C-alpha cells in the first residue's frame, strides 16, 4: 500500500533560509527522506528552478523536478515548508510557503491543479502562515490526499 501523498512528517514549520537554493534543497530533502524520491531528485528540482521560476504568486513556490527526473520518483508525494520571514526567489518575490511536488506518471498535473486552486486563495495562504502546528497547516490540503 502506498503512503499518503501528504502527511504530518512532510511538513516543516518556521523554517528560515539564506536563499532559494537552500529552501528548495530542504523541500526536496523531505521528499527524499520520506522515500518519495531518490536523492538525485533534489538536484533536478534546482535544475528546474534554473529553467523557470517555480514562484506562483501569493508568496508560494512549488518546486519540482525536471521532465527527465521522473524516473527518480518512487511514489507521488508532497512536502510543505513554512517560512514565516520569507525567502527571496529573486525579482523581489518573497516566498513564505514552499510546496515540493513529486508526481508519479501524470499524477503531478492533477496534484498541481489542486494545489493551484488552494493557493490561489489568499485566505488559505494566510491560514498556512498563521498555522501554529503541522495539522492546522495540513487542514488546508485535505482534498489533495
Q: Which residues are catalytic?
A: 64
In angstroms, the CA 133 to CA 8 distance is 9
DSSP string of the chain?
-PPPSS-GGGEE-S---SSHHHHHHHHHHHHHHTTSB-TTHHHHHHHHHHHS--EEETTEE--B--GGGGGGBSS-EEEEEEEEEEEE-STT-EEEEEEEEE-STTHHHHHHHHHHHHHTSHHHHHHHHH-SSHHHHHGGGGGG-
**How many beta carbons lie within 10 A of that of residue 121, not counting itself?**
12
Amino acid at each position: 500500500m502506498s503512503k499518503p501523498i501528504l502527511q504530518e512528517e512532510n511538513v516543516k514549520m518556521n523554517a528560515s533560509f539564506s536563499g532559494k537554493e537552500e529552501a528548495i534543497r530542504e523541500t526536496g530533502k523531505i521528499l527524499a527522506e520520506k522515500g518519495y524520491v531518490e536523492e538525485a531528485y533534489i538536484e533536478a528540482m534546482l535544475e528546474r528552478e534554473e529553467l523557470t521560476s517555480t514562484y506562483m504568486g501569493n508568496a508560494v513556490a512549488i518546486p519540482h523536478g525536471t521532465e527527465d527526473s521522473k524516473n527518480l520518483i518512487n511514489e507521488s508525494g508532497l512536502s510543505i515548508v513554512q517560512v514565516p520571514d520569507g525567502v527571496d526567489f529573486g525579482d523581489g518575490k518573497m516566498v513564505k510557503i514552499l510546496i515540493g511536488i513529486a508526481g508519479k506518471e501524470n499524477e503531478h498535473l492533477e496534484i498541481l491543479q489542486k494545489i493551484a486552486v488552494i493557493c490561489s486563495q489568499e485566505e488559505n495562504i494566510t491560514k498556512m502562515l498563521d498555522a501554529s502546528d503541522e495539522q492546522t497547516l495540513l487542514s488546508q490540503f485535505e482534498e489533495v490526499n
